[in-house]
């Protein structure tokens, strides 16, 4: 609930209600919840009610005549099962290549390079120092090595996609444009050549 907010307007009907778990506690001041982890969550709801100052007889009459229809909801596993086979194969790959963690890590690397002037090797050494201090030498080295390998694979894959997919498409589009321009120029020259003899005869 929003403190001091306007009352809920349901004059046009209320057909759907969604819930989202935020890492911020809503209040006069936004505070971050400890231990928040992004992802799916489940919530057992016993009842949902709306309250209005109406006579008890009217409320009982509405409840007695109301029909309850429970919408069909799908769990995470059911959503995964209903995906086409191609998406089932592509989702894990795309999730690994374009995950939120990878994007945040890329932004952090860019900040370290721009703000602190670290090279790529300097960023890796910085990560090793942080992880070995927190997790120990062996585990810190293993985590940094796995992250570096994953980032390298992502970079190589993106470059391959650019070279094998986007660049050929760009070259094909450019060739079509050049062909269209050449055709237009040839037609224009032909028309000019047909006009010159007529002007000379006149």
117 touches 110 (CB < 8 A): no
Backbone angles phi, psi at 38, to 5 degrees: -70, 155
Q: pLDDT tens across 14-68, in order?
A: 777 777 777 877 666 777 777 777 777 777 777 777 666 666 665 555 555 555 5
Model confidence pTM above 0.85: no
The whole-number pLDDT of residue 90 equals 75
Q: pLDDT tens across 63-89, in order?
A: 555 555 555 667 778 877 888 887 777
Report long-range pairs for 98-106 (Cβ below 8 Å, ≥24 apart): 100/38, 102/150, 102/151, 102/154, 105/147, 105/151, 106/151
């Amino acid at each position: 609930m929003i403190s001091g907010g306007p009352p809920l307007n349901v004059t046009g009907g209320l057909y759907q209600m969604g819930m989202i778990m935020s890492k911020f506690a809503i209040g006069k001041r936004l505070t971050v919840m400890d231990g928040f982890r992004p992802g799916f969550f489940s919530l057992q709801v016993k009842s949902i009610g709306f309250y209005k100052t109406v006579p008890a007889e009217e409320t009982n009459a509405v409840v007695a005549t109301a029909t309850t229809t429970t919408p069909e909801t799908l769990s995470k596993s059911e959503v995964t099962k209903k995906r086409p086979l191609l998406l089932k194969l592509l989702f894990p790959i795309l999730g690994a290549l374009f995950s939120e963690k990878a994007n945040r890590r890329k932004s952090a690397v860019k900040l370290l390079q721009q703000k602190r002037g670290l090279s790529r090797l300097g960023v890796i050494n910085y990560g090793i120092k942080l992880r070995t201090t927190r997790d120990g030498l062996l585990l810190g080295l293993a985590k940094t090595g796995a992250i570096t390998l994953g980032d390298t694979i992502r970079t190589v894959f993106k470059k391959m996609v650019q070279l094998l997919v986007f660049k050929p498409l760009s070259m094909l589009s450019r060739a079509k444009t050049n062909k269209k321009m050449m055709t237009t120029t040839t037609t224009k020259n032909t028309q000019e050549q047909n006009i010159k003899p007529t002007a000379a005869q006149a």
